[in-house]
Every structure is written in structure tokens, then in C-alpha cells.
């Protein structure tokens, strides 16, 4: 195993643990998804997954089918080759980004409303009891930057889509 392959195996495990927790995904499914992400647009075959993840054919098949049902991965074939090459479903990734933007926009709006309430309440409170508003300003600024960055990422993905 060369250095690149060794590093890929390490990252499959590391990314797999992250995805497992974040997406509440089964451990093997998370490793399959990680392997597919780290293989890229060339795609990975069923056989590559079985050997690379040291799992049984039935385990790989079950979790790979589940990932396809969730529309997280899809496959393509090559002329004259009977194998399926599994790749990340970019549409699912784009939908995830859209959901994230909407969630952040909602959170930003909530902070704007809370800040407005606190500003109004501060007018009736003695100075030592007034709300500190700096946190809301900083968090709203953070969300603006995060939203702008993730929208830019989405545009990059869309422009590189085939």
C-alpha cells in the first residue's frame, strides 16, 4: 500500500466517524460514504468497497443500497464494463446546503428579533440591569459571513456540475 492509499484509509476512518455522528448513519454506511467521497468522480466499485473496507459483500450491499435509497450516492457504468461506479450525489449535497442556508437565515432572524426586544427592554431597565447586545451583533455578523460563504460554495458546485 503506497502513502496515498494509506492516507486515504486513515481519512475514510476519520471522516466516517464524523459522518456517523453528524448524519446519525450506521458505521459501515458512513465508511462507504467516506470512501466514495474520497475516491471522487472516477467512482468506486462494489469490489473496491469490499476489499477497501474489509467488510462482507452482504454488509456492503445492504449499506450501499441504503445510501442509494437515501439518494446520497448514485452510480454510472462504462461502455463494455459490467461494473457500477459509485459516486457522491451532488444534488443531495446541494439540497443539504440549501437546508443549511435556510436554517441559518431563520436563526439570524431570531437573533435580530431577540436583539430588538432586548434593546426595547433596555430602555426600561436601569443601566446595571441592561442586556448586553454585543453577542447578538457578533453572532448576526458571523451568520451573514457563513451564509455568504456557503452560498458561494453552492455556486461553485453548481458551476462544476456535469
What is the domain-level CATH number for residue 45? 1.10.10.10
| Same domain (yes/no): 24, 81 | yes
Domain boundary among 88, 106, 123: 88
Regarding beta strands 84-88 and 73-77, do their DSSP bridges make them parallel or antiparallel, or are they unpaired? Answer: antiparallel
74 shares its domain with 133: no
Q: Both 96 and 68 in a single domain?
A: no
Using the predicted structure, report yes or no on whether residue 13 has a pLDDT greater than 90: yes
CA torsion 153→37→82→26, rounded to 10°? -120
Listed residues 54, 88, 122: the one ending a domain: 88
Q: Render pLDDT for 90-126 as a digit per residue (tens, 0 to 9).
A: 888 898 899 999 999 999 999 999 999 999 999 999 9
Per-residue H/E/C for the chain: CCHHHHHHHHHHHHHHHHHHHHCCCCHHHHHHHHHHHHHHHHCECHHHHHHHHCCCHHHHHHHHHHHHHCCCEEEEECCCCCCEEEEECHHHHHHHHHHHHHHHHHHHHHHHHHHHHHHHHHCCCCHHHCCCCHHHHHHHHHHHHHHHHHHHHHHHHHHCCC
Asked if residue 114 and residue 83 are part of one domain, the reply reads no
Q: Do 102 and 45 reside in the same domain of the chain?
A: no
- 62 shares a domain with 13: yes
The average confidence (pLDDT) of the chain is 93
- Among candidate residues 12, 15, 13, the one with its CA nearest the CA of residue 23: 15
Whether residue 104 sits in one domain with residue 62: no
The verdict on 39 and 22 lying in the same domain is: yes
- Find the angle CA(105)-CA(107)-CA(112) to the nearest 5 degrees: 95
- Total number of domains in the chain: 2
Residues 80, 104 within the same domain: no
- In terms of Cβ atoms closer than 10 Å to its own Cβ (0-12, 13-18, 19+), residue 79 is exposed
The model's confidence at residue 161, banded by pLDDT at 50, 70 and 90, is low
Shared domain check, 73 and 117: no
Q: Given this model, what pLDDT does residue 33 score?
A: 96
> Of the candidates 66, 88, 110, which is a domain's last residue?
88
pLDDT digits (tens, 9 = 90+) for 15-53: 999 999 988 999 999 999 999 999 999 999 999 999 999
Q: What is the pTM of this model?
A: 0.73
The boundaries of the domain holding residue 139 are: 91-159
**Same domain, yes or no: 30 and 69:** yes
Query: Phi/psi zone of residue 125: left (φ > 0), alpha (ψ -120 to 50 degrees), beta?
Result: beta
Do 150 and 83 share a domain, yes or no? no
Amino acid at each position: 500500500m503506497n502513502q496515498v492509499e494509506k492516507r486515504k484509509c486513515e481519512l475514510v476512518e476519520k471522516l466516517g466517524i464524523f459522518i456517523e455522528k453528524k448524519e446519525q448513519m450506521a458505521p459501515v454506511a458512513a465508511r462507504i460514504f467516506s470512501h466514495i467521497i474520497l475516491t471522487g468522480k472516477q467512482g468506486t466499485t462494489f469490489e473496491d468497497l469490499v476489499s477497501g473496507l474489509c467488510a462482507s459483500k452482504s454488509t456492503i450491499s445492504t449499506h450501499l443500497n441504503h445510501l442509494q435509497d437515501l439518494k446520497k450516492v448514485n452510480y454510472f457504468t462504462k461502455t463494455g464494463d459490467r461494473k457500477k461506479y459509485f459516486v457522491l450525489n451532488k444534488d443531495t449535497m446541494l439540497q443539504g446546503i440549501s437546508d443549511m442556508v435556510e436554517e441559518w437565515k431563520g436563526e439570524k432572524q431570531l437573533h435580530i428579533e431577540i436583539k430588538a426586544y432586548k434593546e426595547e427592554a433596555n430602555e426600561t431597565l436601569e443601566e446595571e440591569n441592561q442586556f448586553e447586545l454585543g453577542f447578538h451583533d457578533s453572532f448576526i455578523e458571523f451568520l451573514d459571513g457563513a451564509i455568504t460563504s456557503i452560498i458561494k460554495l453552492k455556486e461553485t458546485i453548481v458551476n462544476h456540475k456535469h
